[in-house]
Amino acid sequence: MFDRIIPEFVVVLQHKKHPLKQLLIIDDEEKHRSLLARIIRSEGYEVFEAGDCESGLKKLAQKAINVILCDVKLPDGNGIDLVPKIKERFPDVEIILLTAFGNISDSVQAMKDGAFDYIVKGNDNDKIIPLLSRAFEKVELRKRVRDLEKRVGKKYTFDSIIGNSPSILKAIELARKVSTTDATVLLTGETGTGKEVFAEAIHFASGRSNNSFVALNCSAFSKEILESELFGHKQGSFTGAIKDQKGLIEEANGGTLFLDEIGEMPLELQAKLLRLLETSEYLKIGDTKPSHSNFRLIAATNRDLKKESEEQHFRSDLYFRLNVFQVELPSLNSRVKDIKPLTKHFVEQFSAKSNRKTLGIDEGFLEKLSLYSWPGNIRELKNIVERAVILAEMNTLTIDDLPPEIQFIQEQKNNTLSAFSMASVEKLHIQKVLNHAKGNKAEAARLLEIGIATLYRKIEEYKL
C-alpha cells in the first residue's frame, strides 16, 4: 500500500532526525508493518513493532513509547477497544488508528475515547508523517507543561521557609543578606535540612530571579555523565554524542547554578570547576574553543568540607573558593519547637493534595514527634506526615497514624532514666530493698515505709 510513497519520504525526510522519539506500530500485516516502520525510521524515529494487541501491550510496558500507530483489525482484538485500555495504563501515550474506509465512524468514536487521530489506510499515506510529528509535539508539550508546573510549584522564597527558632532565623537572615550580591554561597547542614529550599530562596530574592535556577546533584551521576551534564559536549566527542548538547553551566547563564552534594564531585571535575570560577571560561567536551557563562554559584554539602580537604578528598583551593559565605542550616532535632509549625504546614499541604478538609492534629501526635531524633530532618518529617494523612481514618491525626518506630523510641526514652535523676536513685533503692527482702513485697514496703499499693505502682513504673 505504501510502495507509491516510499521514495519521496526517504529523500525528503531522511535528514530530519528526531532522536529519542519512540513509536510503536501494532499491525498484523507484516509486509505493511515493516514497510511503514522503514519509512518512519528514515525520519529519525525509533520504531518498535508488534503483530497483535497482547504483544503491543507488552512492548508498551517495556519501552518508553510516546506514540502508537495501531491497526483497527487485529488477530486477538480490535484497535478501537485497545484505545481506552492503553489510555488507562499509559495516559501520556498518543494513539493514531489505521482504519479501513468502512470503519471511519468507529475511529471517530475512538477519538472520543482519547485516540489522537485516525488515518484511512491507502488514502492518507501522505498525512502520516505530519500527523506523527503533531502527535509527538503534543507529547512534548505536555511534558514541558508538567516540568513548568513542577518548577512553579516548587518556587521557594524566604517567606515560605517555616521556623521561628533562633538558629533558623539566623540562617534566614544571613541568606537574605547575601542573596542580593553575586557572592558564591556554601550551604551546609545534614541531609533534608532544606539546603535546596534555601538555594531557591536566595535565587528568587536575587537580581537573577528572572533567569534560570539550574540544580544538579553531584552524587547522582558517574564522572562521565556529570561532566557532560555540567559542561555540555560537541557532536561526536564520544560514542552516543549524536548532537551538540548544552551543559547546565550554559543553561544557568544569567541565573544561578546550584550544585548539591558538591563533596561528591570527582577531583578531576573539581579542577575544571575551579578554573571556570576563576576565569568564567570552560571547555565543552570535544570542543577546542572556550565557552563563557555568567552564573552565580550556590553549592551545598552535608560533609565537613574543611576536614575533607585536609584529608585530600576535596581540593582545598576549591574549598576556599566556595567558602566565601557559608550558611549553616540547623538540624531538626536542634530546633524541636519548629516541629509543630512544620507539621501543621505539611498537614495542610497533604490534606489539600488528597482533596480532604485540613485534618486536625492531636497533641499526643505532636508530642511523639518531638521525642524522635529525626536523622532525615525535614524531609523525613514531611514523609511521615504524608503517610499519616493517607492513613488517617478520622478528621484528626493521632498516635496510631505514626510509624511504629516513633512510638517505640518514645517508650525507650521513658524507660531510660538519666543516671542523675531522682527517679533513677529511687529505682535503685527500691531494687536494693526488694533484694534485701528476698522479693517479699510486704516486707519491702514495710522497710521502705510506703504502702504496698505504692510499691506495686513503683515496680510497674520502673519495670522491676
Question: Rule CB under 6 A: which residues touch ligand ATP?
Answer: 161-163, 189, 191-197, 260, 300, 302, 378-379, 382
CA distances from 220 to 30, 215, 223, 226, 456 (A): 43, 12, 10, 8, 57
In 10 A of CB 360, how many CB atoms?
A: 14
Q: Between residues 49 and 261, which has the closer beta carbon with respect to ligand ATP?
A: 261
Least gap, CB of 197 to ligand ATP (angstroms): 4
Cell 566565601, located at residue: 324
Q: 26: closest CA among 63, 61, 64, 60?
A: 60
Least gap, CB of 427 to ligand ATP (angstroms): 40
Beta bridge partners of 94: 67
Q: Between residues 95 and 339, which has the closer beta carbon with respect to ligand ATP?
A: 339
Q: Between residues 45 and 346, which has the closer beta carbon with respect to ligand ATP?
A: 346
Least gap, CB of 335 to ligand ATP (angstroms): 10
Q: Between residues 56 and 163, which has the closer beta carbon with respect to ligand ATP?
A: 163
Least gap, CB of 60 to ligand ATP (angstroms): 32
Least gap, CB of 356 to ligand ATP (angstroms): 20
- Contacts for 309 with CB less than 8 Å, ≥ 6 apart: 315, 316, 319
Q: Between residues 60 and 202, which has the closer beta carbon with respect to ligand ATP?
A: 202
Q: Which helix (H) or strand (E) holds 323?
A: none
Residue pair 119/92 in contact by the 8 Å Cβ criterion: no
Length of the chain: 464
Q: Between residues 21 and 382, which has the closer beta carbon with respect to ligand ATP?
A: 382
Q: Between residues 32 and 303, which has the closer beta carbon with respect to ligand ATP?
A: 303
Least gap, CB of 312 to ligand ATP (angstroms): 23
Considering Cα of 445, then 450, then 453, then 457, what sign does the dihedral take? negative
Q: Looking at beta carbons, which residue is closest to ligand ATP?
A: 194
Q: Between residues 273 and 384, which has the closer beta carbon with respect to ligand ATP?
A: 384
Q: Which helix (H) or strand (E) holds 68?
A: strand 67-71
Q: 175: closest CA among 337, 342, 330, 308?
A: 330
Residue pair 413/371 in contact by the 8 Å Cβ criterion: yes
Beta bridge partners of 401: none
Cell of 72: 483497527
Q: Between residues 55 and 370, which has the closer beta carbon with respect to ligand ATP?
A: 370
Least gap, CB of 188 to ligand ATP (angstroms): 9
Least gap, CB of 172 to ligand ATP (angstroms): 9
Q: Between residues 203 and 382, which has the closer beta carbon with respect to ligand ATP?
A: 382
Q: Between residues 116 and 346, which has the closer beta carbon with respect to ligand ATP?
A: 346
Considering Cα of 280, then 196, then 154, then 341, what sign does the dihedral take? negative
Q: Between residues 47 and 187, which has the closer beta carbon with respect to ligand ATP?
A: 187
CA distances from 68 to 27, 223, 341, 358, 396 (A): 11, 36, 49, 42, 47
Least gap, CB of 122 to ligand ATP (angstroms): 54
Considering Cα of 180, then 184, then 190, then 191, what sign does the dihedral take? positive
Cα–Cα distance, 290 to 286 (Å, whole number): 11
Least gap, CB of 380 to ligand ATP (angstroms): 9
Least gap, CB of 209 to ligand ATP (angstroms): 18
Cα–Cα distance, 402 to 190 (Å, whole number): 23
Least gap, CB of 379 to ligand ATP (angstroms): 4
Q: Is residue 275 helix, strand or coil?
A: helix
Cα 210 from chain centroid (whole Å): 23
Beta bridge partners of 328: 188
Cell 550556590, located at residue: 298
Q: What DSSP line would sit under 224-268, residue for residue?
A: HHHHHHHH-B-TTSSTT--S-B--HHHHTTTSEEEEETGGGS-HH
Cell of 365: 501526635
